[in-house]
Structure 1
Amino acid sequence: MLNSILDKNYPETVEIIEVGPRDGLQNEKEFVSTEDKIKWINQLSHTGLKYIEVTSFVNPKWIPALKDAEEVVRNIERVPGVTYAALVPNHRGLERALEANIDEASIFMSASETHNQKNINKSIEQTFPILQEVAKESIAAGKSVRGYVSTVFGCPYEGQVSIENVIRISETLFEMGVRELSLGDTIGVATPLQVQKVLDTLLRRFPADKLAMHFHDTRGTAMANVLSSLEMGITKFDSSLGGLGGCPYAPGASGNLATDDLLYMLNGMGIQTNIQTDKLLEAAQFIQEKMNKTLPSHTLQACSIA
């Protein structure tokens, strides 16, 4: 039995995509000051992370926690080799994002019709041409594009989501020119076997290096789902430092997979990330203090006990 475990072909390196400054803060009622956001992102930039999603250019009336998007992007300290990305919903959002000089635009939609309506206020079919315009203009401006598909493993309104829907949306987004697609377990319902079944289907159509996984830990299965994904050859994972965040349009969706917990597991498995644990934990403790509440990551809690 031990030999079969040790024979698993885990990757040598993994890329962690930090989404805390956007996905972690977007649903928080307590506004984190612009100055503190900038300080936090600057700390993250010196941890060894190579990708940080710093904010969202969604209309501020919908996401007031990120109403300072332009000021944040303009004033962060840019570290060479780090990509600074932002969520961009439409043409107007892209104009703002390009003026602030983001490195990459993230476009997003849902695999379930109802969640897409709740999240974007449009049907899936109505969403395609809007994202097509954003992708086309981003690429023309010399910016790369990343795609998000939400509710891949379950929808809070419709329940199970058709894998055919996921495939159709993924194919359409790749046709638009996205360089990578993040597959979201928006409400944290996925289980390891389900993850492997979905990936088994998707990896017959798309290369593993074009896919990333975005897990929420609502039911405590996020880390197990990462392990399943690693076994399927996935090497890119979205996470949020301290476990901050949740989808504002998905009732019951608690925090994201915690970056610090993910790093602990990968380090213990001998998988390289090039992230410095001490600097990452300093950044986690900084934002926890600014949030004035205990964040849900297990690693942070263990550090406070120690």
Structure 2
Amino acid sequence: MKLIECPRDAMQGLDHFVPTDLKIRYVNTLLQVGFDTLDFGSFVSPKAIPQMRDTADVLAGLYLAKTKTKLLAIVANVRGAEQAVAYPQIQYVGFPLSVSETFQQRNTNKSIAQAFAEVGEMQERCVGAGKELVVYLSMGFGNPYGDPYSLDLVAGFTEKLIQVGIGIIAPSDTVGTSTPEAVETLFRHLIGQFPQVEFGAHLHARPGETPAKVQAALRAGVRRIDGALRGFGGCPMATDELTGNLPTEEIIQELAAEGIALSIDKEAFQKAMTLSAGVF
């Protein structure tokens, strides 16, 4: 089971700028917890996401000598991918590809067709630099815009991504509208069709919804889940009212209840929980 902690997703929609030194302290603490991967920052336009304008400075301040946790950075285009792959410390580059045409335009200012073309270019850059491209399928459980949506549509996106060599695909519940039934149905559909792909669950939820969504993902065979301490964050491009990430502490509880043990350093985890109150 891979648990992905997402301080970038948690912070990006905040009104106040989190000082760079505080970001560094927070991410360094998270690096000691034992997560598989940290979605720690992004190389995107500072006008679009001003909170992440210091990602390169944060990266320079990270202490990576005694951690097994890998770093993931989000990008919105080929230029961002070129920036990200230049850093030896970053193992994964993440790109949000929307199943909804409307949201692809809102989120990255391009069409789905243009985004697919860029995925091919990003994949080339990643392979050339020894990195792995992770594609998030935004609006992976439907959308509020009336754009077409079906299980087969998501499967079609998946098939195209496999054709260009993508091995990690994370359907994303961008606005928190998925039900546990929808989560289980989609992942069963995808995992059954494409067993060679590592599917991740990047879900958003309202308070109280996390346990059922995690259980649904596990029943479907998901073994990669994204979360954020205390459930902070969400996508600032999706709606004005932010729906939070799955609280990492609740994910860990659910995994434990299912008998899935994680090698989490409890002391470091509590330290991160305490520090998160100051960050957010």
| TM superposition score normalised by structure 1 | 0.85
Residue of structure 1 aligned with 2:62, choices 76, 95, 98: 76
Aligned match of 2:112? 124
User: Counterpart of 1:103 in 2: which secondary structure?
Assistant: strand
CA displacement 1:53-103 (0-9 Å, x = unmatched)? 110101111100000011111221114422111012222212321333322
CA displacement 1:144-187 (0-9 Å, x = unmatched)? 11111011112132277222221122222222222211111111
Contact 2:151 2:186 in 1 (8 A): yes
Aligned match of 2:234? 246
1:201 aligns to 2:189 (yes or no): yes
CA distance in 1, matches of 2:114, 2:80: 17
Aligned match of 1:302? none
Aligned match of 1:26? 12
Greater Rg, structure 1 or structure 2?
Answer: 1
Residue of structure 2 aligned with 1:174, choices 148, 162, 166: 162
Cα RMSD over matched residues? Answer: 1.8
1:105-120 pair list within 5 angstroms: 105-120=93-108
- Structure 2: state its 5+ residue gaps: none
Q: Between the two proteins, what is the percent identity of the paired residues? A: 32
Contact 2:187 2:222 in 1 (8 A): no
Greater Cα shift, 150-159 or 102-111: 150-159
User: Counterpart of 2:244 in 1: which secondary structure?
Assistant: coil
- Structure 1: state its 5+ residue gaps: 1-13, 292-306
Say how many residue pairs are matched.
277
CA distance in 2, matches of 1:214, 1:200: 15
| TM superposition score normalised by structure 2 | 0.93
Aligned match of 2:205? 217
Contact 1:216 1:257 in 2 (8 A): yes
Aligned match of 1:278? 267
Report the alpha carbon displacement of residue 209 of structure 1 after superposing the two structures with TM: 5.9
Contact 1:109 1:124 in 2 (8 A): yes
1:39 aligns to 2:28 (yes or no): no
Residue of structure 1 aligned with 2:45, choices 55, 59, 66: 59
1:287 aligns to 2:273 (yes or no): no
Report the alpha carbon displacement of residue 265 of structure 1 after superposing the two structures with TM: 2.2
User: Counterpart of 1:214 in 2: which secondary structure?
Assistant: coil
CA distance in 2, matches of 1:64, 1:249: 13
CA distance in 1, matches of 2:3, 2:67: 17
